[in-house]
Amino acid sequence: MQSFGYFDTAVIIAAIVAYILVTSWLTVKLRSKTSAEFMVGARSAPAIVVGILLMSEFIGAKSTIGVAQAAFEHGMAAAWAVLSAAVAFPLFGFFLAKKLYNSGEYTISGMVAQRFGRSTELVVSLIMIYALLMVNLGNYVSGAASLATILKIDLTTAAFIIAIVSTFYFALGGFKSVAYVSMIHCAVKYVGVFVVLGIALYLTKGIAPVAAKLPPYYFTWDGHIGLSTIVAFFIGNIGAVFSTQFIIQAVASTKNATAARNSTYIAAALSIPVSIALGLIGVSAKYLYPDMNSLFALPVFIQSMNVWWAAFVSISLVASIFVGVSTVALAISSLIVRDFYTPYFKPTPEQEFRASRVMSVFIGFIPLIFVFFAPGLLQLSFFTRALRLSISIVALIGLYLPFFSSNRGATVGLLAAAATTTAWYLAGDPLGIDNMYVALVTPPLVIFIEKL
């Protein structure tokens, strides 16, 4: 990658600092003033805002860099990792969005509780909190690595910057502010991807030379990834979309049930072009720099930009870090307040609002404890999706198969899914069966047996 001079580096750093200051000012300007605004934006968010927010889950730093890296190694088929979300969102909109909105709930655990009861609610909440903490740990580690490279600072300083800025965003702003500020983050990130694609295709002189030189599998539907992995992409993303707390929370913030459904269609439409762009960036990097480390398949193109475009793309990477950390941390805070603090302490709305902010500060800094001691936990990324998939299965059974709506069956099914999926993952996915499939099968099997 290009080694910028002192002036160029100063320009990039100044641009990033200015971006953080502007978005921080907007956070203060749009901050939540009530508990309702903090949790669901007082149910006033337009469908387009929520649609962009939903899509943001799939264009974070790990997704963009990871898809480009996989495309470099395995071909355009890597785009299915994000493209499958374009299928998951409409399914969620058709089967669950309106039911969720009309339930009046803004947590997946609260919705499950309406069908299965309190014990299942607590199990769902604990599994989701654990899964999201692991997701944010991954966001901190990958984000710190990116920020350290861009700003030429050490990993520790980068991680603290992420913790401080992101916690400020969601602890002060709450959902109302995060939703609108994240629109800016997402827009910058989205445009940044297409700036990189434009540079890549300019250097390759189009797609035809790339297709002519690379092995044929680089442009087949399954590449060297294979059908099993692609199916796992679909299962994992459908499970994540149907159960991830922040997605549930975002949909619940819309003005009405129709807007809730429409937001999922907007998210799907936005996911399609960016997934194809990331695949093309990866294969273009393979064509131009076949012997480089695949990890740099996306950022390698910064070396071919002038300092101003490089600054913009660097900002887009920083934006993806902040939007990922903020939305996940806000979701964790909402689960803790909704499922544990409020039922036991029965606070007034003002007390709940203050408690939400205090808890948010702790949640924002907790990952720092593990970033430096357990970076290997990043490997749990797909495992956390499997855990969320098991929650989705139980929720769908409760909604569409009420005959099986047993509190005991759902609780035992979730606990069994967590245990068997964990064991299967730790055993290295025996027999070549991904732990995602274990999470898919275990809950309905246990619920069916319990019913009999």
* Nearest of 401, 422, 419, 413 to residue 442 by alpha carbon: 413
Half-sphere exposure of 267 (CA within 13 A, CB side): 35
- Cβ atoms of 50 and 184 within 8 Å: the answer is no
For the CA atoms of 268, 272, 278, 282, what is the dihedral angle to 10 degrees? 130
Give the model's confidence band at 37: pLDDT under 50 very low, under 70 low, under 90 confident, else very high. low
Neighbours of 379 (CB within 10 A): 11
Question: Does position 369 have pLDDT exceeding 80, yes or no?
Answer: no
Question: Does position 376 have pLDDT exceeding 60, yes or no?
Answer: no
Give the model's confidence band at 377: pLDDT under 50 very low, under 70 low, under 90 confident, else very high. very low
Q: Say whether pTM exceeds 0.85.
A: no
- CA–CA dist 111, 385 (Å, integer): 19
Question: Does position 194 have pLDDT exceeding 70, yes or no?
Answer: yes
* Nearest of 114, 32, 27, 120 to residue 352 by alpha carbon: 32
Please state the rounded mean pLDDT for residues 14-38.
82
Question: Does position 220 have pLDDT exceeding 80, yes or no?
Answer: yes
State phi, psi for 206 to the nearest 5 degrees.
105, 180
Question: Does position 204 have pLDDT exceeding 90, yes or no?
Answer: yes
**CB within 8 A of 211, min separation 6: which ones?**
218, 219
Higher pLDDT, 289 or 172: 289
Using one digit for the tens of pLDDT, what is the confidence trace for 119-150? 888 998 898 888 888 778 777 877 777 777 77
- Structure tokens of 446? 């246990």
* Nearest of 413, 446, 388, 449 to residue 120 by alpha carbon: 413
Which of 8-12, 368-372, 417-421 is the most confident on average?
A: 417-421
Per-residue confidence (pLDDT) for residue 372, from 0 to 100: 62
Question: Does position 1 have pLDDT exceeding 90, yes or no?
Answer: no
Tokens 């700003």 label which residue?
Answer: 151
